[in-house]
Amino acid sequence: MESTFGFKHKALTQSVIGVFFDVYNLLGHGFLESVYQKSFELALSGRGLKVLRKIEIPVWFMGQKVGDFEANILVEGCVLVELKACRCLDRAHEAQLINYLRATEIEVGLLFNFGLKPEFRRLAFDNERKRPTAKRPLLLDLLLSTIPNS
């Protein structure tokens, strides 16, 4: 983990933000979120970054699994990316990403909007601030358990 002036994963997030603007400049606005998601995944992979798409994030309450969220993209196992294709970002979009971070051991998230003008937010939720949940498995352990052994 890189930390410069308090920013975790600074170089990686800068690279992902650059990819966002590349995709936006090529596609513009007006497509469905799924089009941007696939394009973003291809562009990130093209830069040699490890990308997982449609990440199931379990939600735990009092030690019991009560549901799942689906995050758009996980980059290099440490940055969650949430994509939107709406008029403009609002607090509800930020709250969604914060909840994803809160529910996992991932500390950094990027929120992107392919609206009339490109928008992004970089959000962080340090693990030290998260409430421990004894029965909550780590997201990365869950993801690795779904990949067949080769």
Give residue-wise pLDDT tens across range 86-143. 999 999 999 999 988 988 889 999 999 999 999 999 999 888 777 665 455 556 565 6
Q: What is the pLDDT of residue 63?
A: 78
115 and 84 Cβ atoms separated by less than 8 Å: yes
Give residue-wise pLDDT tens across range 65-93. 888 889 999 999 999 999 999 999 999 99
Tokens of 74: 């996980």
What kind of architecture, by CATH, is found in domain 3-145?
Answer: 3-Layer(aba) Sandwich (3.40)
pLDDT exceeds 60 at position 4? no
Largest CA distance in the chain: 46
Sign of the CA dihedral with 73 first, then 84, 33, and 29 last: negative
Tokens of 144: 């690795």
Q: 3-class secondary structure for 14-41?
A: HHHHHHHHHHHHHHCCCCCHHHHHHHHH
Strand 108-114 to strand 79-84: parallel, antiparallel, or no bridges (unpaired)? Answer: parallel
Q: What is the pLDDT of residue 105?
A: 84
Domain ranges in the chain? 3-145
How many residues in total does the chain contain?
150
Give residue-wise pLDDT tens across range 27-80. 999 999 999 999 999 999 999 999 999 988 888 778 788 888 899 999 999 999
